[in-house]
């Protein structure tokens, strides 16, 4: 019998994280993925990692830090750590005002530019795609706009995330009603198949254009290898980073975008004091950043 109940109860003393351990873990996390855990989130890190300590049978967070650094299991544990420190609050059709910008002209202008160059290739990068709701939404929008002409275009969507577990979930394409809470009913009917118990499966026609990959936004070398994009979506990801990391990430997006390309960041995020390289384009209820050609 192994269950969360029997695993969680223990007669060992409750472990707490001291400031030195917190400092070590915070620096380690920052070095590995650029995510900065502020002091007031220490309790959150402690709570979330406690289960890892119990699972691994470790006595202190100091031991956990050593375990992460060790060759034995540290690499595997890194993934578990990434899953613990990132939250995956998202949904299909999140922040519709931004998506409207894409639907109502921006995508068409990118397509027109490509046609002028005699190309039907477009590359979109969803950086920080979590469990896949964003890239699938983008592909649904492409289907809605292009309809039968979708097959005439070679539009690829690269969807990356730090956590392999969420990518595996994204690749399965199975969602609860909660993930669809902001999705129009007609869209659900067209692109999802109910599979019972309030769960839905994304249609294979949507799935086939999306390529999921593990990505660490703190790894500049890895980012350089990503195919250059016409559009980048990186919404609600910058909030995890401190200012220096935000600057590095935005700089990498600038390098990845083709001239004239567009960057979407979260509706509550801003590049103010982060970067001046993009030209902000103001739409009703949304700002999109353009790399000038």
Burial class of residue 2 in the structure, from the number of CB atoms within 10 Å of its CB (0-12 exposed, 13-18 middle, 19+ buried): exposed
Centroid of chain to Cα 152: 28
Please state, in angstroms and rounded to a whole number, the distance separating the CA atoms of residues 283 and 288.
Answer: 8
Contact pattern from residue 27 through residue 66 relative to other proteins, giving x for each residue in contact according to CB under 8 A and a dash for the rest: -----------------------------xxx----x--x
> From the list 2, 14, 197, 225, which residue makes contact with other proteins (rule: CB under 8 A)?
2
Contact pattern from residue 162 through residue 181 relative to other proteins, giving x for each residue in contact according to CB under 8 A and a dash for the rest: --------------------
Residue 5 binding other proteins, by CB under 8 A: yes
> From the list 48, 255, 258, 266, which residue makes contact with other proteins (rule: CB under 8 A)?
255
Alpha-carbon Rg for the chain, nearest whole angstrom, is: 21
Residue 9 binding other proteins, by CB under 8 A: yes
Contact pattern from residue 61 through residue 100 relative to other proteins, giving x for each residue in contact according to CB under 8 A and a dash for the rest: --x--xx-xxxx----------------------------
The interface region with other proteins, picked from 6-14, 189-197, 234-242, 260-268 by CB under 8 A, is 6-14
Please state, in angstroms and rounded to a whole number, the distance separating the CA atoms of residues 117 and 243.
Answer: 37
DSSP H or E stretch at residue 84: helix 74-85
> From the list 147, 185, 208, 276, which residue makes contact with other proteins (rule: CB under 8 A)?
276
Burial class of residue 15 in the structure, from the number of CB atoms within 10 Å of its CB (0-12 exposed, 13-18 middle, 19+ buried): middle
Residue 7 binding other proteins, by CB under 8 A: yes
Please state, in angstroms and rounded to a whole number, the distance separating the CA atoms of residues 158 and 125.
Answer: 5
Residue 148 binding other proteins, by CB under 8 A: no
Q: Which CA distances in Å does 223 have to 127, 160, 228, 232, 251? A: 10, 11, 10, 13, 11
Tokens of 78: 């890194």
Contact pattern from residue 127 through residue 146 relative to other proteins, giving x for each residue in contact according to CB under 8 A and a dash for the rest: --------------------
Sites of contact with other proteins (CB under 8 A): 1-12, 56-58, 63, 66-67, 69-72, 247, 251, 254-255, 275-278, 291-292
């Amino acid at each position: 019998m192994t269950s969360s109940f029997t695993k969680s109860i223990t007669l060992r003393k409750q472990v707490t994280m001291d400031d030195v351990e917190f400092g070590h873990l915070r620096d380690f996390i920052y070095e590995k993925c650029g995510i900065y855990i502020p002091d007031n989130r220490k309790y959150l890190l402690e709570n979330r990692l406690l289960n890892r300590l119990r699972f691994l049978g470790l006595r202190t967070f100091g031991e956990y830090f050593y375990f992460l650094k060790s060759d034995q299991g540290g690499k595997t544990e890194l993934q578990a750590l990434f899953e613990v420190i990132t939250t995956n609050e998202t949904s299909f059709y999140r922040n519709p005002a931004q998506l409207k910008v894409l639907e109502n002209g921006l995508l068409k202008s990118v397509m027109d530019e490509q046609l002028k160059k005699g190309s039907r290739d477009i590359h979109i990068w969803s950086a920080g795609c979590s469990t896949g709701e964003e890239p699938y939404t983008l592909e649904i929008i492409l289907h809605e706009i292009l309809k039968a002409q979708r097959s005439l275009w070679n539009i690829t969507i690269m969807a990356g995330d730090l956590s392999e577990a969420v990518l595996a979930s994204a690749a399965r394409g199975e969602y609860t009603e909660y993930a669809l809470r902001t999705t129009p009913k007609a869209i659900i009917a067209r692109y999802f198949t109910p599979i019972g118990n309030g769960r839905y499966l994304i249609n294979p026609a949507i799935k086939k254009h999306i390529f999921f990959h593990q990505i660490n936004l703190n790894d500049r070398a890895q980012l350089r290898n990503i195919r250059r994009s016409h559009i980048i979506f990186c919404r609600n990801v910058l909030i995890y980073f401190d200012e220096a990391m935000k600057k590095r990430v935005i700089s990498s997006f600038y390098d990845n975008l083709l001239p004239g390309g567009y960057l979407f960041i979260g509706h509550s995020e801003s590049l103010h004091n982060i970067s001046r390289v993009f030209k902000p384009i103001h739409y009703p209820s949304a700002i999109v950043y353009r790399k000038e050609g």
